[in-house]
């Protein structure tokens, strides 16, 4: 239960990742712009967006694999890429790269050599559970096994912040489930913050409790899953002329993300700013997946309550 206690404490919200005005340009092309985010500690953050939205760039900047063109980024309170941050942040790159000629045991040894707090017994036990032979070269493991080895390396680092770039994109459903289970179990054990990127939203609800949606190199939506669920609803109301024409929505709606209208009824997916009292409209709750998909389909709509709040209230505690 210590992890639970730690988690409760974490929810008082020091920032695991804090970036301000962060931007990265490659040549003349911006890969990430104007990114101001404060991701609270102890969360599992899903970073969702289509390919090219800037997810990998964001994670690279937090890990210090890339240098920002503008702005700053702190990981667990330390400047990204510096010695302090390197000891506290773990990363698994897209397609989980490994040294093909290294055996699994060689990778573990490398982890020990390069990381002060490397949890070798845990890593060994983990790989033994998964029946991954330690003496086999990484190049001869299956894709799922390679992902597990790469994940084990990242998790055994005992980092405070764990960044995973498309951790399950190349995996079959069973390997996906295994990878996510290992990840979630480790999070339960260590209370670390996880940020993982994905271009698919399936099964998001199971694992993430904080959502960041990116589109066109910018952050479009960021917030705790519970807050977002509370702030959004699917509204079912009168259709056709009775709806009051195009663009009509009941009082209490801040923004309409999706709208389908027929003669019979109108269905909205909307962000609310207050209760919908109009008795003609029925309000139904939505899932994180619904919200993520709705924002991805409406890239012009932005909603990012948390960083502005924390900017106003300073430490945000």
Q: Is 250 in the site for other proteins (CB under 8 A)?
A: no
Binding range to other proteins, per CB under 8 A, among 119-127, 198-206, 264-272, 292-300 = 198-206
Structure tokens at 275: 């209760």
Q: Is 41 helix (H, G, I), strand (E, B) or coil?
A: coil
Nearer to other proteins, 258 or 298 (CB): 258
Tell me how far apart the alpha carbons of residues 211 and 158 are, in angstroms, rounded to a whole number. Answer: 23
Give the one residue of 30, 58, 91, 303 binding other proteins; rule: CB under 8 A: 91
Give the one residue of 23, 81, 223, 250 binding other proteins; rule: CB under 8 A: 81
Binding range to other proteins, per CB under 8 A, among 13-21, 92-100, 298-306, 309-317 = 92-100
Nearer to other proteins, 225 or 296 (CB): 225
CA 25 to chain centre: 22
**Any idea what DSSP says for residue 112?**
H
CB of 199 to other proteins, least distance (A): 18
Subset of residues 26 to 45 that bind other proteins, contact rule: CB under 8 A: 26, 42-44
* Run of H or E residues at 132: none
Tell me how far apart the alpha carbons of residues 180 and 57 are, in angstroms, rounded to a whole number. Answer: 22
Nearer to other proteins, 108 or 214 (CB): 108
Tell me how far apart the alpha carbons of residues 155 and 192 are, in angstroms, rounded to a whole number. Answer: 10
CB distance 91 to 153 below 8 Å = no
CB of 102 to other proteins, least distance (A): 7
**218 - beta bridge partners?**
215
Give me Rg for the CA atoms of the chain: 21
- CA distances in angstroms from 78 to 7, 45, 74, 212, listed in the order given: 21, 19, 5, 22
Q: Is 188 in the site for other proteins (CB under 8 A)?
A: yes
Task: Sort strands 282-284 and 232-238 into parallel, antiparallel or unpaired.
Answer: antiparallel
CB of 225 to other proteins, least distance (A): 9
Return all residues near 108 (Cβ < 8 A) that are at least 6 apart: 120, 123, 124, 127, 134, 153, 156
Nearer to other proteins, 101 or 312 (CB): 101
Binding range to other proteins, per CB under 8 A, among 70-78, 119-127, 266-274, 280-288 = 280-288
Site for other proteins, rule CB under 8 A: 1-5, 7-8, 26, 42-44, 60, 63-67, 81-83, 86-87, 89-95, 97-102, 106, 109-111, 113-117, 150, 153-154, 157, 177, 180-181, 184-185, 187-189, 203, 205-209, 229, 275, 282-285, 287
């Amino acid at each position: 239960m210590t992890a639970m206690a730690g988690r409760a404490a974490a929810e008082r919200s020091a920032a695991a990742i804090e970036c301000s005005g962060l931007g990265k340009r490659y040549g003349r092309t911006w890969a990430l712009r104007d990114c101001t985010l404060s991701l609270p500690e102890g969360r599992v953050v899903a970073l969702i967006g289509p390919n090219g939205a800037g997810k990998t760039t964001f994670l690279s900047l937090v890990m210090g694999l890339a240098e920002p063109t503008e702005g700053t980024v702190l990981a667990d309170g330390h400047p990204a890429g510096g010695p302090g941050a390197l000891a506290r942040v773990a990363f698994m790159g897209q397609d989980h790269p490994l040294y093909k000629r290294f055996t699994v045991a060689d990778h573990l040894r490398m982890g020990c050599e390069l990381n002060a707090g490397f949890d070798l017994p845990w890593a060994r036990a983990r790989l033994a559970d998964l029946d991954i032979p330690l003496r086999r070269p990484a190049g001869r493991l299956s894709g799922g096994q390679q992902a597990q080895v790469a994940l084990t390396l990242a998790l055994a680092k005992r980092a405070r912040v764990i960044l995973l770039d498309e951790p399950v994109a190349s995996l079959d459903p069973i390997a996906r489930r295994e990878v996510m289970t290992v990840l979630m179990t480790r999070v339960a054990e260590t209370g670390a913050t996880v940020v993982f990127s994905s271009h698919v939203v399936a099964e998001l609800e199971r694992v993430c409790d904080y959502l960041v949606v990116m589109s066109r190199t910018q952050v479009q939506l960021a917030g705790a899953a519970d807050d977002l669920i509370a702030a959004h609803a699917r509204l079912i109301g009168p259709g056709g002329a009775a709806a009051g024409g195009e663009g009509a929505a009941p009082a209490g709606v801040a923004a309409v993300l999706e709208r389908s209208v027929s003669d019979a009824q109108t269905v909205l997916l909307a962000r609310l700013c207050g209760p919908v009292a109009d008795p003609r409209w029925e309000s139904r709750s939505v899932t994180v997946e619904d919200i993520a998909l709705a924002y991805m389909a409406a890239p012009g709509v932005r909603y990012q309550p948390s960083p502005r709040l924390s900017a106003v209230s300073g430490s945000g505690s």
